[in-house]
Amino acid sequence: MKIFVDNKINEKCNQVAIGSIEAYVKVSEENEGLWKLIDEKALEIEKNIPVKQISEIKNIEDSRNVYKIFGKDPSRYRLSSEALYRRIARGLGLYKVNNVVDINNLISLNSAYSVGTYDLDKLSGDIHFTIADEGESYAGIGKGDINIAYLPVFYDDKGKFGSTTSDSVRAMITTDTKHILMNIISFNGDAELDKYMDEACEYLQKYADGKILCKEINK
């Protein structure tokens, strides 16, 4: 699965790298083994990382700085990874969705990168990564209409469908999903991506009966 990074992004940040995994999966709403891992990671974060220090975690800090370069306020439109960390650090815990979304969130916690997972059967044509234009929006998952102007976003032939802040309803993972694309998005190069892609593949195989079709870094 090739993701094309548009010049619109590369001209402002030449360190963009996307770790992409294409897989067949079985989506289920419960997995005790996976949630044991997530609970352990959440407890580690809650005990050791105060809310005020989250923005100083390297991969979050680097991504926040790129948001500013793009023209988006990272304190108002938070990275999905930062939002997860803040929720946990405030003692609110994580919500259960389904095994694939929960794996997505665990990889985001482990890496501090934003991670987006999409139902490939709901996408069409080539997939690109760009910066959204002024006035653009889409229906976000659980958030209503989201102003995506100046956010880094993915789009296909049908339009924008995902960002490093919040994804759209159109390509969301449901219990009917069978074919996925998981993107781990780095704004500071690809040095750490192989490690987290390997983790993601391991979790997908173990907790979602995943069959990995493709794994590559796009930039």
Residue 216 pairs with which residues in a beta bridge?
A: 20
pLDDT for 163 equals 97
Tens digits of per-residue pLDDT, 119-130?
A: 999 999 999 999
pLDDT for 8 equals 96
User: Is residue 114 a contact partner of residue 120, using CB atoms and an 8 Å limit?
Assistant: no
pLDDT for 9 equals 96
Average pLDDT over residues 100-125: 97
pLDDT for 95 equals 87
pLDDT for 138 equals 95
Residue 216: pLDDT band (50, 70, 90) is very high
| Domain harbouring 178, CATH code | 3.50.40.10
Residue 155: pLDDT band (50, 70, 90) is very high
Q: Measuring CA to CA, how many Å separate 193 from each of 37, 87, 196?
A: 20, 24, 5
Residue 1 has pLDDT above 80, yes or no: no
Residue 11: give the domain boundaries.
3-218
Residue 132: pLDDT band (50, 70, 90) is very high
pLDDT for 143 equals 80
Give helix 193-207 / helix 99-111 axis angle, nearest 10°: 150
Q: What share of the chain in percent tops pLDDT 90?
A: 95
* Cα–Cα distance, 66 to 68 (Å, whole number): 5
Tens digits of per-residue pLDDT, 60-77?
A: 999 999 999 999 999 999
* Cα–Cα distance, 19 to 30 (Å, whole number): 26
Tens digits of per-residue pLDDT, 10-50?
A: 999 999 999 999 999 999 998 999 999 999 999 999 999 99
Q: Residue 83 phi/psi, 5° resolution? A: -60, -40
pLDDT for 144 equals 84
Greater confidence, 143 or 88? 88
* Cα–Cα distance, 92 to 112 (Å, whole number): 18
Residue 168 has pLDDT above 90, yes or no: yes
pLDDT for 30 equals 85
Number of domains in the chain: 1
